[in-house]
Amino acid sequence: MTSPNPTRPSSPHPTRRSVLTRPRAPVIEHALGIARDWCAGQIIDGAPALGHAVRVALTLGRHLPAVPPELTAAILLHDVLDYRGSDMVDSTIARQCGQRTLTMVWLMYGEHTAMDSYDTAPAMALRRLERLPDLVAAALTADKIVSVGYVLRGAKHATDPAAYWAARRPFLDLVPYLRAFHTATAHRIPTTLAAELDTLVRDAETATT
């Protein structure tokens, strides 16, 4: 049996085009090809890494239908730096997807620095977030919506919620950063996108109370 295609619409008769509906811009096709190769065998949020990236792209597209194709391509590729060396990433993405896509890939990946430093240097982390271009901030918000939503859905279906959350201490420790991220970026992204993340972060803040 062939593997499901994560880029297909969820309905056979979608009411409107998604950002990944064919015909796709060449830069998106190139990004999908790279991501299929480099993300093969990798898991994010309990599913193939490419599926995670596709969900992020579709989430952003619901709130921002006119997503530049270079940004969609960057979303599809934003985790590949975990799987390939920076020299290969730079040369391959610049050649096949263009410098703008490569720049946005690095900006998305670089947000990890703000995340990792927030506990010890919150002011520096916030400055990094404030310097993010608006479109990149929107893409990162969509990424967080997908990941936080995955964790919260798992909690809803857990037979032992206390044990579920006890095993996810790193996620709970990250919640203050997620709130800070939302506060720093909400005014620069689509209102509905910011509101969706706000709801999820609020649910995470009260998850163990």
| Fold that domain 26-205 belongs to in CATH | Hypothetical protein af1432 (1.10.3210)
Phi and psi at residue 3, in whole multiples of 5°? Answer: -70, 145
Instruction: Report the predicted TM-score, pTM, of the whole model to 2 decimal places.
Output: 0.91
* Distance between CA atoms of residues 97 and 78, nearest Å: 13
* Distance between CA atoms of residues 77 and 59, nearest Å: 15
| Number of Cβ atoms within 10 Å of the Cβ of 42 | 15
Q: Domain coordinates of the chain in residue numbers? A: 26-205
pLDDT (tens, 9 = 90+) of the chain, 209 residues, equals 444 455 444 444 444 578 999 999 999 999 999 999 999 999 999 899 999 999 999 999 999 989 999 999 999 999 999 999 999 999 999 999 999 999 999 999 999 999 999 999 999 999 999 999 999 999 999 999 999 999 999 999 999 999 999 999 999 999 999 999 999 999 999 999 999 999 999 999 999 77
